Structure 1
Amino acid sequence: MSKTYNMDFKRTKYGRFMNNRVPSNKRYQPTEYEHAANCATHALWIIPSILGSSLLHFLSDDQWETISAWIYGFGLSGLFIVSTVFHTISWKKSHLRMVEHCFHMCDRMVIYFFIAASYAPWLNLRELGPWASHMRWVIWIMASVGTAYVFFFHERYKIVELICYTVMGVFPALVILSMADRDGLFELIVGGMFYCLGMVFFKSDGLIPFAHAIWHLFVAIGAGIHYYAIWRYLYTPGTSEMKTSR
């Protein structure tokens, strides 16, 4: 009785801004307002991410910087593009059920490659400890394993998926902490904190109105802070002496 009352109270209180929470093996169905917010909160960053990635490319002084700029740029832009396309299809799906399902998987998969791409400039351009050369490849293996996990177990074990994202986000940081030059470390930590705080909202659909859109904003802020660190400490003219000879 109490549970039914609480659900009715939430429906009355939040109305068009939030639907009821669903079981862990089901997908939450956003309201029209939540759909719009989910699209807008990542669509707004597509153009800035492309322009920012292009800037890093133009600032590159050698092959490794160019490669790292492209990897990072594809990961950053891909995250916002795939997310926006998925949420748009989900909002206007009509008969596109199979397409929506495929893009939902892609939306989850791209997170793994975004994490790997975000580490790439640091692993490629900074002087790190002895494990750095191995981590450059290990992180992509982790992204591939995460992609395979989504393909075979999509939406089945959501808590496991969350743990995978967290482990992949934190594990390479152990190598990053070995940087002889610590410039940018503060921004990396702050950006990581925004991602971690955002996870609270990532799993709060049906509990907090616009939870997923808020999660998107935390992702955008974290990505923005990390982009600033990469631009400022790895690509800005005058910092070339800090880069390792490769």
Structure 2
Amino acid sequence: MNLVRFMNNRAPANKRYQPTEYEHAANCATHALWIIPSIVGGVLLYFLSDDHWEEIAAYLYGAGLSSLFIISTAFHTITWKKSHLRSVEQCFHMCDRMVIYFFIAASYTPWLTLRELGPWASHMRWVVWVMASGGTAYVFFFHERYKVVELVCYTAMGVFPAMVILSMADRSGLCELLVGGGCYVLGMVFFKSDGVVPFAHAIWHLFVAMGAGIHYYAIWKYLYTPVNQQTSTAR
């Protein structure tokens, strides 16, 4: 079967790739499937919380995780239906890019809040949210203008806080963090492969779902199950 017929030609550098009908359906389905599990997962962590800091971490992480899948699905659905309200589509596209920054910050929050860190590393608890705010401002002012710069920003925010995680006295869960991070990194190859690999964006979505699933498992197992609960230095 010739898979090329399922994708369009690669878009010029200054234009957005236009998926085929098949790709639109795949883009929607591959993140819509995880909306309910992400909401349930966030609620589960909240009810497993034993104190105020665990509740805050669970709320922020659950909100970031579910928002990623909800906004992504909404944007791809609006785009697929070819809405005549171009301003609405543009708004959701910007939100789709913005939420990635907050998702990254939310994913780090449980580790930076509930694990004991070195004295300088503890500042990363709020630095990640400053970075997310900066990324949001960048999208607002320079959306789709410098795609390579945007990719570098996502990568930097995903990797830089990870250096702090290495300072944890208790490194249980580090293997899962690295594997999950590896899923994101591998997925980025497909994130930039629209028009080169059929269903590239949907494949990217699957790598995101795998990475998020592995990271969720690590947070649940090492930070929220009773035998592994850690004492936050922020308490």
Scaled by the length of structure 2, what TM-score is found? Answer: 0.97
Amino acid at match of 1:243: T
Instruction: Determine which of 223, 231, 234 is the counterpart of 1:243.
Output: 231
Query: Is residue 2:19 matched to residue 1:14?
Result: no
Partner residue of 1:46?
35
Distance change >3 Å, CA 128–CA 13, structure 1 → 2: closer
Distance change >3 Å, CA 78–CA 13, structure 1 → 2: closer
Amino acid at match of 2:189: V
Scaled by the length of structure 1, what TM-score is found? Answer: 0.93
Q: Which structure's CA Rg is the greater one?
A: 1
Instruction: Determine which of 177, 182, 194 is the counterpart of 1:193.
Output: 182
Partner residue of 2:100?
111
Distance change >3 Å, CA 13–CA 126, structure 1 → 2: closer
Structure 1: 5+ residue runs without aligned partners? 1-11
CA distance in 2, matches of 1:13, 1:62: 52
CA distance in 1, matches of 2:117, 2:13: 41
How far apart are residue 13 of structure 1 and its match?
Answer: 5.9
Structure 2: 5+ residue runs without aligned partners? none
CA distance in 2, matches of 1:32, 1:152: 30
Q: Deviations over 1:41-75 (max 9, x none)?
A: 00000000000000000000000000000000000
CA distance in 1, matches of 2:4, 2:12: 20
How far apart are residue 92 of structure 1 and its match?
Answer: 0.4
Amino acid at match of 2:33: L
Instruction: Determine which of 162, 165, 175 is the counterpart of 1:176.
Output: 165
CA distance in 1, matches of 2:91, 2:56: 29
Partner residue of 1:82?
71
How far apart are residue 22 of structure 1 and its match?
Answer: 1.0
How far apart are residue 224 of structure 1 and its match?
Answer: 0.2
**Contact 2:28-2:77 within 8 A present in 1 as well:** yes
CA distance in 2, matches of 1:13, 1:93: 24
SS in 2 for 1:19: coil
Partner residue of 2:197?
208
How far apart are residue 131 of structure 1 and its match?
Answer: 2.1
**Contact 1:89-1:96 within 8 A present in 2 as well:** no
After TM superposition, the runs of 4+ consecutive aligned structure 1 residues lying more than 4 A away are none
Distance change >3 Å, CA 212–CA 13, structure 1 → 2: closer
After TM superposition, the structure 1 = structure 2 runs for residues 34-183 of structure 1, keeping only pairs within 5 Å, are 34-183=23-172
SS in 1 for 2:181: helix
**Contact 1:108-1:150 within 8 A present in 2 as well:** yes
Amino acid at match of 1:148: A
Amino acid at match of 2:133: S
How far apart are residue 96 of structure 1 and its match?
Answer: 2.0
Amino acid at match of 1:131: W
Q: Deviations over 1:147-202 (max 9, x none)?
A: 01101111110000000000000000111100000100000000000000000000
Amino acid at match of 1:239: N
Query: Is residue 2:206 matched to residue 1:217?
Result: yes
Query: Alpha carbon RMSD of aligned pairs, Å?
Result: 1.0
CA distance in 2, matches of 1:29, 1:92: 12
Q: Deviations over 1:112-152 (max 9, x none)?
A: 00000000000000001112331111111110110011011
**Contact 1:109-1:146 within 8 A present in 2 as well:** yes
**Contact 2:83-2:89 within 8 A present in 1 as well:** no
Which shifted more, 92-101 or 113-122? 92-101
